[in-house]
Amino acid sequence: MKFLQFSVLPFLIVILSVSGANLARHPHRDFLRCLSLRIANSSTITYTQNNPSYSSVLNASIHNTRFSTPTTPKPYAIITPLKTSHVQSTIYCSKNHGFQLRIRSGGHDVEGVSYVSQVPFVILDLVNFRDVKVDTKNEVAWVQSGATTGELYYGIASKTQTLGFPAGICHTIGIGGHLSGGGFGILGRRYGLAADHIIDAKLVDANGRVLRRKSMGEDLFWAIRGGGGNTFGVVLAWKIKLVPVPPVVTVFTVNKNLEQNATKTFHRWQYIAHKLPRDLFTTVWVMKVNSSQVGRKTVQASFKGMFLGRIDVLIPLIQYAFPELGLARENCTEMSWVQSVLYFGALPIEPVEILLNRSALPRLSLKAKTDYIRQPMSETGIEGFMNMFLEEGTDFAITMIEAFGGKMDEIRENELPFPHRSGILFESVYIVQWTNEEDAGLCINWMRRLYSYMSSYASKSLRGAYYNYKDLDLGTNNINGYTSYEQASVWGLKYFRNNFKRLVRIKTMIDPMNFFSNEQSIPPLLSP
Ligand code: FDA
């Protein structure tokens, strides 16, 4: 006891006070020290601003250049874990040294939430977690969060031509963000969302526990299938159920501009697209194009589709159900399901190895918003909408209008956090892009006016929005401190409708101290 009193205790006090002082003055250094104590050779997976590779690692998966300007807040460090224990250690050290953690898989977050924060932060970048293991016998796969949808599609197609997976169109999207937010694509009318086909997951929670479906329980397992990543923990991998696809599918495109009855055709499409057989997905992409009159612009509605079958069945089907489209054989091409992903990405369909290229698409600055439409728009309404694409700031603007119905109609609103199911005619994804930062204001203002114009056509009672295209205009959490349920409901109800309450309850249970937080994460009920 004497020994303790006279020699160890003062020593302990000195250590504690020195480390306390360091904690206050050098959180950065302490964070790195913490990592180095817990991870062997931590410097090989840690990129701080002094590291020559810092910028290239940071920018490698920034898909919205609006958030890579010199004034964009940068992370203190980027950690690229190689194994689960690295993720656990990063959570532990961020928590203990006051850094917010942003989790990045594919980096497509349209508001940059996975790689930008207004408070001191580090990025956990899952770029090395990209294994895809496909088991064709049991029709399942394990896919790690840092893989892209392209890598998953390629992994499936390299083993079989008769299985696929119903996820998003763009092949560079990360599995981590995409699956945790829902995931709608060209197989959506036939099979529903990507999240509808998740059967297990591996997650690390705020206490560093590694949980699987059984150990996390059905509430948390429900929440991570659409309730958003970066709210509940770090999802490392997902077990998914694959779905049957025929070896040959048919895709088509029919373009109509304002002078070719685009408005009338789109008006008619609204009444038909959600009722078509579920093997047929159609979408309308609206954008400004050159008119046949030199020097003039017009607006084009591009009617695209993917049919899980052959041309000879598709053509009579469309000619009967939607003759106004004027679909002809030359508009159609037969190909494999995996090639159809490239077709919708406006890429060459061969070689399919393009799916493995994470840089195959140009990166621009962008702002996005979404709507769910339950009642057809009037012809005059559509005309006004289309004419807005002739305004300034719309050179790289597009609206993708995706037919729902089919399987989406059959899934209950509370089955998963994504609630926009039965009765939705179509989802509208409005995107405006620009290449010159000086145009940002003009383009974003146009987007906000377009959204305001569409308010009279969107769901009357509660205007819905898709969490996978985050829109911080809808509201944000308080940067420092508590956000009340009421405040978060403003955007939470739009994304999740009545499921928002359950998400808040689950968040309160799994992460009451709100370690995993961001601008639109689900807040826990009580202030930490
Ligand atoms: P990113 O890494 O930026 O993560 C997005 C969000 O999820 C962030 O909040 C992040 O912290 C969190 N997160 C990421 N990984 C996580 C993990 N492992 N654990 C916990 N949280 C994690 N959507 C759609 O349904 N259909 C489509 O066809 C398309 N197409 C499309 C094209 C393009 C060009 C863009 C920019 C976006 C889409 N999207 C889409 C939207 C897309 O689904 C959405 O942006 C996803 O969140 C992207 O996931 P990433 O992993 O790439 O993003």
Which CATH number does the domain housing residue 86 bear?
3.30.43.10
Which residue carries 């339950």 as its tokens? 374
What is the per-residue pLDDT across 267-294, written as a single tens digit (0 to 9) for each? 999 999 999 999 999 999 999 999 988 8
Residue 411 and residue 325 share a domain: yes
Give this prediction's pTM: 0.94
Residue of 444, 463, 282, 252 lying closest to 367 (CA atoms):
444
- Among protein residues, the one whose CA lies closest to atom 15 of ligand 1: 176
Q: Is the CB of 269 under 6 A from ligand 1?
A: no
On whether the CB atoms of residues 302 and 284 are closer than 8 A, the answer is yes
Instruction: Report how far ligand 1's centroid is from the alpha carbon of 426 (Å).
Output: 21
Q: Indicate the SS3 state at residue 424.
A: coil
- Going from the Cα of 148 to the center of ligand 1, the distance in angstroms, rounded, reads 10
Q: Is the shortest distance between the CB of 150 and ligand 1 below 6 Å?
A: no
Final residue in a domain of this structure, among 196, 227, 244:
244
Query: Are both 437 and 308 inside the same structural domain?
Result: yes
Residues 269, 410 within the same domain: yes
Tell whether ligand 1 has an atom less than 6 A from the beta carbon of residue 177: yes
Angle at 264 between CA 259 and CA 268, to 5 degrees: 150
Residue 213: pLDDT band (50, 70, 90) is very high
Could you list the residue range(s) of the whole structural domain that residue 259 is in?
A: 249-335+364-454
Number of helical H runs and strand E runs in the chain: 17, 18
| Secondary structure percentages of the chain, helix, strand, coil, to 5 | 40, 20, 40
d(CA 238, CA 175): 9
282 and 371 within one domain: yes
**Residue 162 and residue 112 share a domain:** no
Averaged pLDDT, 157-174:
97
Q: 89-142, pLDDT tens digit by residue?
A: 999 999 999 999 999 999 999 999 999 999 999 999 999 999 999 999 999 999
The CA-to-CA distance between both ends of the chain, in Å, stands at 38
Residue 480: the pLDDT is: 79
Q: Is the CB of 103 under 6 A from ligand 1?
A: yes
- Report d(CA 295, CA 146) in Å as an integer: 45
- Nearest residue (CA) to ligand 1, atom 29: 168
pLDDT top residue among 5 and 218:
218
Q: pLDDT band at residue 4, thresholds of 50, 70 and 90?
A: very low
Q: Do 446 and 430 touch, CB atoms closer than 8 A?
A: no
Q: Do 137 and 101 share a domain, yes or no?
A: no
CATH number for the domain harbouring residue 264: 3.40.462.20
Say yes or no: 300 and 437 in one domain. Answer: yes
Residue 350 inside a domain? The answer is no
* End position of a domain, from candidates 229, 244, 259: 244
Distances (CA, A) of 13 to 6, 9, 25: 12, 6, 18
Number of domains comprising the chain? 4
For 27-52, the pLDDT digits (tens) are 899 999 999 999 999 999 999 999 99
Contacts of 346 (CB under 8 A, 6+ apart): none
- Of 125, 149, 177, which one is at a domain's C-terminal end? 125
